[in-house]
Amino acid sequence: MAVASPDLHPPIVELIGIRKRFGPVVANDGVDLAVLRGEIHCLLGENGAGKSTLMKILYGLYPPDGGEIRVRGQKVHIRSPRDAMALGIGMVHQHFMLVDRLTVAENLIAGQEPVRNGLLDLRRARQAIREMADRYGLRVDPDARVQDLSVGEQQRVEILKALMRNVDILILDEPTAVLTPQEVDELFRVMLQLKADGKTLIFITHKLRETMAFSDRVTVLRNGRHVGTWRTADTSPEQLAEMMVGRQVTLRVARPHRLPGDVLLELDRVSAIDDRGQPRLRDVTLSVRSGEILGIAGVEGNGQLELEEVIAGLRPISSGRIRINGQEPRQPGPRGRRALGLAHIPSDRLRRGLAAPLPVTRNGILGRHWQPPFARRGVLREPAIRSHVGQLLAEFQIRGRLDAPASTLSGGNQQKLVVARELAHGPRVILACQPTRGVDVGAIEHIHSRLLEMRAAGAAILLISADLDELLALSDRLVVMYEGTIVAEGPADRFTRKELGLWMAGQRPDRAGSLAQAAPDRHPAPPKEGAAHA
């Protein structure tokens, strides 16, 4: 399709006909990509489109099955990240490549350590880190341990790691996914400064807003194929969305107004500690009514996981009460809660939502596998199971065979299977955690409309999500969590993205007349600890 008009700058990186398959999955199917010197090139595509795979090939982490790579006009063979770095290519990975237990300095110098008398020269390392950090305004403490850093700080370390290897082509794989809006702004400032310094940036995202905001050109991938490359100025978000998905998409969901009913989920001053004994939830009080979606916003790691676990019955509460459908569960653990009508879509589908090696039939009944009609006298009843799960597959348009292991399904189909199972028995309360993380737009649309159907049917839904767009689109009310407490709550349409970002960062937006309420004083701000980062 369209290729941008020849620019003044020559291409610095050319990928030609790159092919890569993982077993049956074709991740890259003859992809072409030309990146010009000194530009910010956005690589746009849905989850699973093959963006990370393509960049890992360029960075030497995966060998391609076919195709050619040229850097600065020369054909090259990149067999390892070492080769890539030698060519001046650096990469900031979607999942940070940092060791929690080591210090920032140790993480930054590993692989190219400064040495004095045979020993690590940490003094020189610190100095080099400070110089580079000052140059780009990437503040970090070289002696801090990575485990004590916020996600935004960790990302700065990742960027520094690439810069300290003197790269001039920097790949950033979904760098904004884990950041607050303010941190995103900060990242964009750094990226523009890098560009001004003459560096070339390849920026992966699936968010149209970011693409439009500051990329020079954009390439869209879909299903492992190159759809096209445009100058960003010549496209529109609608056009790009259609290219990404391959059809017209509704970027908004319809959420009819509804009067909420009785309180079905209630938390009263609930506190909990994490596995290391640190307090992670402090006096959380909230309630969700029938026909209402309550969204939980917050930077990941501020107690959302623990909140999920205490409601689902996977973590004991240290104080407080939980009421589901008006009753306190009599039995600890998930079974007692399910008996009261709770459905749980876990935030980590592979760890908690599915038994990935087991077939779809088994995964479709987990949690009720011991009950009739799926089991009689302790023995599974295959016909009942097959007909039930078969129905789920049809209803949710899940592509997968009944007898295939769940691990062979795509992420979107796995997630739809979890959602289908959890919604199958008319739950009164739904705990939906990251319900669309890492799935394609089709599945997102489907899952969102199912949740809204359940809302219309009178379920109370607690939605924990790291995706602000999702929270704003689905929620009736929002609460913001910060360091284990609720710092703000209010009707969803009273929050702007900017305000949400400030609350999430632990700050208090001082906008006169803001209708979103700071949480009342019965949720005192937690004392600042060593590990606390604003």
Ligand X SMILES: Nc1ncnc2c1ncn2[C@@H]1O[C@H](COP(=O)(O)OP(=O)(O)O)[C@@H](O)[C@H]1O
Is residue 40 at the binding interface for ligand X, with CB under 6 A as the rule?
A: no
Is residue 48 at the binding interface for ligand X, with CB under 6 A as the rule?
A: yes
47 touches, from ligand X, Mg ion, another protein, none (C-beta below 5 to 8 Å by class): ligand X
Question: Would you say 161 or 217 has its CB closer to another protein?
Answer: 161
Q: Are strands 225-231 and 217-222 parallel, antiparallel or unpaired?
A: antiparallel
Is residue 51 at the binding interface for ligand X, with CB under 6 A as the rule?
A: yes
Is residue 52 at the binding interface for Mg ion, with CB under 5 A as the rule?
A: yes
Task: Please report how close the Cβ of residue 425 comes to ligand X at its closest, in angstroms.
Answer: 30
What is d(CA 532, CA 46) in angstroms, rounded to the nearest whole number? 34
Question: Would you say 202 or 429 has its CB closer to another protein?
Answer: 202
What is d(CA 455, CA 442) in angstroms, rounded to the nearest whole number? 20
Instruction: Report the phi/psi class of residue 520: left, alpha or beta, with left for phi > 0 and alpha for psi in -120 to 50.
Output: beta
| Contacting residue, 52, 155, 200, 465, with another protein by CB under 8 A | 52
Stretch that binds ligand X, among 50-58, 145-153, 401-409, 429-437 (CB under 6 A): 50-58
- Cα angle for residues 19, 20, 25 (degrees, 5° grid): 125
Do residues 194 and 132 touch, judged by C-beta distance below 8 A?
no
Q: Are strands 119-120 and 169-173 parallel, antiparallel or unpaired?
A: unpaired
- Binding residues among 119-148 for another protein as defined by CB under 8 A: 119-120
The full DSSP string for 410-453 is -HHHHHHHHHHHHHTT--SEEEEESTTTT--HHHHHHHHHHHHH
What is d(CA 262, CA 211) in angstroms, rounded to the nearest whole number? 43
Task: Please report how close the Cβ of residue 82 comes to another protein at its closest, in angstroms.
Answer: 4
Q: Which residues pair with 295 in a beta bridge?
A: 463, 478
Task: Please report how close the Cβ of residue 303 comes to ligand X at its closest, in angstroms.
Answer: 28
Question: Would you say 27 or 424 has its CB closer to another protein?
Answer: 27
203 touches, from Mg ion, another protein, ligand X, none (C-beta below 5 to 8 Å by class): none
Task: Please report how close the Cβ of residue 233 comes to another protein at its closest, in angstroms.
Answer: 33
Task: Please report how close the Cβ of residue 440 comes to ligand X at its closest, in angstroms.
Answer: 9
Is residue 475 at the binding interface for Mg ion, with CB under 5 A as the rule?
A: no
49 touches, from another protein, ligand X, Mg ion, none (C-beta below 5 to 8 Å by class): ligand X
Tokens of residue 300, six digits: 């990941």
Is residue 50 at the binding interface for ligand X, with CB under 6 A as the rule?
A: yes
Task: Please report how close the Cβ of residue 11 comes to Mg ion at its closest, in angstroms.
Answer: 23
Stretch that binds another protein, among 35-43, 68-76, 118-126, 216-224 (CB under 8 A): 118-126
Question: Would you say 155 or 325 has its CB closer to ligand X?
Answer: 155
Do residues 401 and 393 touch, judged by C-beta distance below 8 A?
no
Helix intervals (H) in 254-380: 304-312, 334-339, 360-363
Question: Would you say 89 or 500 has its CB closer to ligand X?
Answer: 89
Task: Please report how close the Cβ of residue 410 comes to ligand X at its closest, in angstroms.
Answer: 6
- Binding residues among 402-441 for ligand X as defined by CB under 6 A: 410
DSSP state of 249: -
Question: Would you say 22 or 256 has its CB closer to ligand X?
Answer: 22
SS (H, E, C) 129-186: HHHHHHHHCCCCCCCCEHHHCCHHHHHHHHHHHHHCCCCCEEEEECCCCCCCHHHHHH
Do residues 478 and 295 touch, judged by C-beta distance below 8 A?
yes
Is residue 25 at the binding interface for ligand X, with CB under 6 A as the rule?
A: yes
Stretch that binds ligand X, among 22-30, 322-330, 399-407, 444-452 (CB under 6 A): 22-30
107 touches, from ligand X, Mg ion, another protein, none (C-beta below 5 to 8 Å by class): another protein
Q: Are strands 263-273 and 279-289 parallel, antiparallel or unpaired?
A: antiparallel
What are the angstrom distances between the C-alpha of 258 and each of 275, 290, 293, 455, 496?
40, 10, 11, 9, 22
Question: Would you say 91 or 451 has its CB closer to another protein?
Answer: 91
Question: Would you say 95 or 247 has its CB closer to Mg ion?
Answer: 95
- Cα angle for residues 453, 487, 489 (degrees, 5° grid): 35
Site string for another protein, 53-82 (x = CB under 8 A): ---x--x-x------------------xxx
How many distinct helices (H) and strands (E) make up the chain? 16, 24
Task: Please report how close the Cβ of residue 393 comes to Mg ion at its closest, in angstroms.
Answer: 27
Spatial strand order of the sheet with 517-518 comes to 342-345, 429-433, 460-464, 292-297, 477-482, 485-491, 517-518
Binding site for Mg ion (CB under 5 A): 52
Binding site for ligand X (CB under 6 A): 22, 25, 27, 45, 47-53, 410
Binding site for another protein (CB under 8 A): 22-23, 52, 56, 59, 61, 80-82, 85, 91, 93, 95, 97-102, 106-107, 109-113, 115, 118-120, 161, 165, 350, 407
